[in-house]
Amino acid sequence: MVFHTQIASIMEVLANAAVAEICKLVDDDYAVFRLEITQSQKENRTLRRKLQLLELKVARERVLASRPSSVKILDRYRGMTRGTFSRMPRQRGLSPRSPLLVFRCVTTVDEGSGTSTQHVIVIESAGAEAASPGGLSLVKQESTEEEDPTHTRDIQTGAVAGMVPPVSVEDLATTPQPRTRPSITEVSGTLNAVLKSEIDTETLTVTHRHLHTESDHGSDPERLLLGRLGCSPAPDSKYLLYGNLSPRTVHSHQDSGDALETGNDLSRSYTTAMDPGIMPLVLETQTDQSRGDWNPYSSSVYSEGCLDKKREVIVIDEVTVKVEGDVPLTCNAEETRLWERYSQSNTSDDLDCRDRLETNLNVATHSPLHVVRDRNPVSTSMAPYDSHGSIFFDQVFNSDDRARDEGRGGGATSGNSKEKRFLCMFCNKGFSCLQKVEIHQRVHTGENPFSCTQCEKRFSRQDHLKRHQRVHTGEKPFSCPQCEKRFSQAGDLKRHQRVHTGEKPFSCTQCPMRFALAGNLKMHLKVHKGERPFTSMHCGKRFSERSYLRTHQQKKQPSESIHIP
């Protein structure tokens, strides 16, 4: 018995020793792993810094390769500008309640070195007299990781870039501007003039420097404001939409960068007013800085909304706006159509301004789609189709259309008592909630997140997928009471029932013929118009429908190719 007890005791001691050994090994390994992880993180940071420096170098080389002091408006920018500015005249001035966002874009280009330095964009709200329960703001969040002071990032375009025209004004440097100036900043010359002068140049580098939290620049009143607003750094660079959903928050990111050397930089400021639900954003060029009046033809940013903050300063991180050549962006038919619709929705006074801008900017037709599609995820961490960003842009650029549509009781936003504060940035349609507009925007983005498990087809909507799957299941829940015929879609049944009722709601305007189906009438009208776009390559015979040509070819020469003009 004693022997067994001793054995058990020895076993226990051995077991404990083994456990202790294992724990020690684990701890050691853990320490090693932690060390390795830490080293890897350091390496990552180092590499990131190198990458940033490389980007900066590339950007500077681009500047050197082009006319150093020149400024160019990003081509895709113009599309946005067009959409933006076209609405300016409709902005009937700043509401007294309207707070302002001031986009202070300080951009200087060193002609000697060809580098652009110390550019600042400040977004601040000013002049708000009234309060509102919420606010809407777009800010750029940045990683809080330590950054190289010289860090610049290329952004092809983006929400922020879209908000703030990449304007580099070489002569601006002659007019110092106090950094602490609290309100709308000065702008020399008209925007048109500036933009015009910028058109034919090749490269622009605009740097938006992020102002920082008050801990960085506690003496700066603007930063104090930032601090007062409780800036919180965000882990990722992202554009956010702040609407009524939450109290206004300003995100900043800590930057160890060099001071804002804006004292010697003349700022081009862009002012906005913010509406909690709508944030129309147009760019203001104040031609009369002494008065601070709003040029009715300038790109003033305002809304009729209100904010609960009288003054806010949002500072955009330093970024470098890479400006590309004048190569027109290509538009596919859909984009062109959208843009045409977008453009045509403007009233005549809008056109005045738009035309002028187009003249000055030599703006080709660019759909708003480009604005989004050209966001470069390489240089900004924003996803190309960031829905929030899109919505934001729409809020910014299309709210005026919304108001117009609502005002005249027409358009996509009419006929619904619900406030449709979420607007599609592509087509200006209004939706009552975020998800609706996100789903809708798949129309433009082509996103089809719902895939059929039976086939390769994908759909933008779940209900469409569900409907489609009846193809595979053979389910036809809609049956005709007259003939027992069954259909997979209710609309098909309804359409079919015209066979029984004899209803032919589609009548030809050229002849007395009537049709039960709209498609049949459409096809019939081609007979009247003589439209025969489908030509047989074999015999030259023309047909109004592709199917006719195909039938003809099958009869004549099955291998004949189809010529579609």
Binding site for DNA (CB under 7 A): 412, 415-416, 427, 429, 431-436, 440, 442-443, 448, 457, 459-464, 466-468, 470-471, 485, 487-492, 494-496, 498-499, 513, 515-520, 522-524, 527, 544-548, 550-551
CA dist list (Å): 176 to 181, 233, 248, 283, 392: 11, 30, 31, 21, 33
Q: How far is CA 136 from the centre of its chain?
A: 15
Look at residues 284, 116, 112, 295 and name the one whose alpha carbon lies nearest to residue 204: 116
Distance CA 565, CA 560 (A): 15
Minimum Å distance from CB 328 to DNA? 25
Minimum Å distance from CB 414 to DNA? 8
The residues, any chain, with a CB within 8 Å of residue 246's CB and separated by 6 or more, are 134
Between residues 85 and 431, which has the closer beta carbon with respect to DNA?
431
| DSSP 3-state of 267 | strand
The residues, any chain, with a CB within 8 Å of residue 239's CB and separated by 6 or more, are 138, 139, 140, 141, 158, 159, 160, 382, 386, 388, 389, 392
The residues, any chain, with a CB within 8 Å of residue 46's CB and separated by 6 or more, are none
For residue 209, what are the β-bridge partners?
A: 120
Distance CA 431, CA 422 (A): 5
DSSP 541: -
Between residues 109 and 521, which has the closer beta carbon with respect to DNA?
521
Half-sphere exposure of 556 (CA within 13 A, CB side): 15
For residue 534, what are the β-bridge partners?
A: 543
Minimum Å distance from CB 545 to DNA? 7
The residues, any chain, with a CB within 8 Å of residue 165's CB and separated by 6 or more, are 73, 77, 81, 105, 191, 195, 268, 270, 283
Between residues 90 and 524, which has the closer beta carbon with respect to DNA?
524
Minimum Å distance from CB 553 to DNA? 12
β-pairing, 534-536 vs 562-563, is: antiparallel
Between residues 16 and 482, which has the closer beta carbon with respect to DNA?
482
Between residues 228 and 496, which has the closer beta carbon with respect to DNA?
496
Q: Which residue has the tokens 């010359």?
A: 189
Distance CA 154, CA 166 (A): 12
Between residues 187 and 338, which has the closer beta carbon with respect to DNA?
338
Minimum Å distance from CB 556 to DNA? 15
Minimum Å distance from CB 367 to DNA? 15
Minimum Å distance from CB 282 to DNA? 25
Minimum Å distance from CB 530 to DNA? 9
* Whether 267 contacts 299, CB under 8 Å: no
Minimum Å distance from CB 523 to DNA? 5
Between residues 53 and 452, which has the closer beta carbon with respect to DNA?
452
Minimum Å distance from CB 166 to DNA? 32
Between residues 249 and 448, which has the closer beta carbon with respect to DNA?
448
* Whether 91 contacts 271, CB under 8 Å: no
Minimum Å distance from CB 134 to DNA? 12
Between residues 349 and 478, which has the closer beta carbon with respect to DNA?
478
Q: Which residue has the tokens 């609309």?
A: 491
Minimum Å distance from CB 230 to DNA? 23
| DSSP 3-state of 377 | coil
Between residues 310 and 498, which has the closer beta carbon with respect to DNA?
498
Look at residues 117, 216, 103, 213 and name the one whose alpha carbon lies nearest to residue 162: 103
Minimum Å distance from CB 133 to DNA? 14
Between residues 292 and 491, which has the closer beta carbon with respect to DNA?
491
Between residues 67 and 468, which has the closer beta carbon with respect to DNA?
468
Look at residues 493, 447, 449 and name the one whose alpha carbon lies nearest to residue 470: 493
Between residues 112 and 502, which has the closer beta carbon with respect to DNA?
502
Minimum Å distance from CB 368 to DNA? 15
HEC string of 334-367 equals HHHHHHHHHHHCCCHHHHHHHHHHHHHHCCCCCC
Between residues 235 and 491, which has the closer beta carbon with respect to DNA?
491
Distance from the first to the final alpha carbon of the chain: 103
Strand order of the β-sheet with 205-207 is 154-155, 320-322, 205-207
The residues, any chain, with a CB within 8 Å of residue 555's CB and separated by 6 or more, are none
